[in-house]
């Protein structure tokens, strides 16, 4: 009897151990828990509503972008001779292109009038240098760079070349920023994870005023950090902030008090897969696509770009789609899609001068001189 009981307990122990060994520690993180303001109603950004419904006052930059997406060979291209242009962001001031090379931490100016190149800011930690910059913003002919090392670097571009003015301290690792009424709205996090909201408002002196932006319900730093990767822009005219996170199919619109007033969802979106390791509490991602960028056209119109990954044999197989967002109507219009297959990654930037296309080490400006 004792042997029979022992055999039964051994079998029970063995089966229990088997059950535990079969348990997976990797689970897919629920999409619902990844969405801030999940219960808030939204409108769709659909490809069924195109620019023909916008009206006659289509912004010039958007018209150039639409022409490029429809037939890039039919629009004039100006080659910009730059080295190491991978990972660049671009804005324009007068007849100058200002490019931030994220990979090499350089700020460069390209003068279209004489094809000259000026290194405005090299990599470094001294005054006027830049390091770990994540975004490039133009505001009233000033260039602002939010940085991972808790700084915002400001350059004045009234003269040529742009001149370093000041570095403003913050208490977050700054990923993106917007300017409204001379205050800075910074998307970022602290490395200790002790931050309750993902957007912080700072004065021009670096004093923290207040924070807004809801997390999904988790206290895990690694999960919260997913909401630190995206873009924030603003409208001084309407006192609105627009926030797009790279891995979420939503555009959030807040007022200047930090209240959510509208939410828009991409109808066609290839959601990145998030897998959560319950032991190490780390998140791994399998990218399928995401929101690439958010561009300000004027105080009422913005353009959002969305990238989807293809499955061809090319190293880089991407479809980049663009939507025009009108804040006054709080509606969207599909502009078009560019399909890229090749050995180098692609970045498409919208500037006042036109469309800047960066593929590998080549930079071209597409513009309409008429």
- The phi and psi torsions of 326 (rounded to 5 degrees) equal -105, 115
Residue 313: what pLDDT?
63
**Model confidence at 121: pLDDT above 80:** yes
**Model confidence at 3: pLDDT above 60:** no
Q: How confident is the model at residue 80 (pLDDT cuts 50, 70, 90)?
A: confident
Whole-number percent of the chain with pLDDT over 90? 45
CA distance 203 to 151: 13
Q: Which two tokens stand for residue 113?
A: 């009038």
Residue 40: what pLDDT?
87
**Residue 130, helix vs strand vs coil:** strand
**Cα separations (Å) of 66 from 240, 322, 367?**
26, 9, 11
**Model confidence at 23: pLDDT above 60:** no
Residue 4: what pLDDT?
44
Residue 289: what pLDDT?
77
Q: What is the mean pLDDT of residues 5-17?
A: 41
Instruction: Read off the DSSP letter of residue 225.
Output: H
**Residue 82, helix vs strand vs coil:** coil
Q: What value does the mean pLDDT of the chain take?
A: 83
Is residue 342 within 8 A of residue 310, CB to CB? The reply is no
**Model confidence at 317: pLDDT above 70:** yes
CA distance 193 to 354: 40
- Kindly report, residue by residue over 329-340, the tens digit of the pLDDT: 999 999 999 998
Q: Which two tokens stand for residue 274?
A: 């998030």
The answer to whether the pTM exceeds 0.75 is: yes
**Residue 231, helix vs strand vs coil:** strand
Q: What is the mean pLDDT of residues 215-238?
A: 76
**Model confidence at 161: pLDDT above 70:** yes
Whole-number percent of the chain with pLDDT over 70? 77
Residue 285: what pLDDT?
65
**Residue 244, helix vs strand vs coil:** strand
Cα-trace Rg, the chain = 23
Is residue 19 within 8 A of residue 306, CB to CB? The reply is no
Residue 314: what pLDDT?
67
**Model confidence at 51: pLDDT above 90:** yes
Q: How confident is the model at residue 159 (pLDDT cuts 50, 70, 90)?
A: very high
Residue 200: what pLDDT?
92
**Residue 73, helix vs strand vs coil:** helix
Residue 74: what pLDDT?
81
First to last CA, the chain: 98
Which ranges constitute the DSSP H helices of the chain? 2-22, 60-70, 221-225
């Amino acid at each position: 009897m004792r042997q029979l009981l022992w055999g039964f307990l051994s079998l029970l122990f063995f089966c229990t151990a088997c059950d535990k060994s079969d348990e997976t520690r990797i689970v897919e993180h629920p999409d619902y828990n990844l969405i801030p303001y999940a219960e808030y109603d939204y409108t769709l950004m659909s490809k069924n509503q195109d620019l023909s419904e916008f009206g006659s006052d289509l912004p010039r930059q958007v018209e150039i972008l639409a022409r490029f997406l429809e037939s890039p060979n039919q629009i004039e291209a100006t080659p910009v001779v730059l080295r190491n242009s991978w990972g660049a962001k671009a804005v324009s001031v007068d007849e100058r292109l200002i490019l931030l090379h994220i990979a090499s931490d350089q700020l460069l100016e390209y003068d279209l009038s004489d094809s000259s190149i000026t290194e405005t800011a090299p990599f470094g930690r001294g005054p006027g240098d830049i390091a770990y910059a994540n975004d490039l913003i133009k505001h009233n002919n000033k260039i602002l760079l939010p940085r991972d090392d808790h700084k915002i670097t400001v350059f004045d571009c009234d003269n040529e070349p742009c001149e370093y003015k000041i570095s403003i301290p913050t208490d977050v690792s700054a990923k993106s920023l917007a300017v409204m009424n001379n205050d800075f709205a910074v998307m970022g996090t602290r490395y200790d994870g002790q931050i309750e909201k993902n957007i912080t408002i700072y004065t021009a002196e670096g004093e923290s005023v207040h924070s807004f932006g809801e997390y999904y319900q988790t206290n895990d730093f690694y999960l919260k950090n997913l909401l630190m990767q995206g873009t924030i822009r603003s409208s001084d005219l309407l006192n609105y902030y627009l926030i797009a996170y790279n891995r979420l199919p939503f555009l959030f619109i807040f007022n200047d008090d930090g209240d959510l007033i509208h939410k828009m969802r991409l109808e066609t979106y290839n959601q990145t897969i998030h897998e959560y390791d319950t032991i190490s509490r780390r998140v791994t991602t399998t990218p399928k696509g995401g929101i690439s960028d958010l561009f300000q056209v004027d105080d009422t119109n913005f353009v959002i770009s969305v990238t989807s990954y293809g499955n061809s044999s090319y190293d880089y197989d991407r479809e980049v789609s663009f939507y025009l967002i009108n804040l006054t109507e709080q509606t969207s219009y599909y502009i078009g899609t560019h399909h890229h297959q090749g050995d180098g990654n692609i970045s498409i930037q919208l500037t006042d001068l036109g469309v800047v296309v960066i593929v590998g080490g080549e930079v071209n400006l597409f513009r309409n001189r008429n």
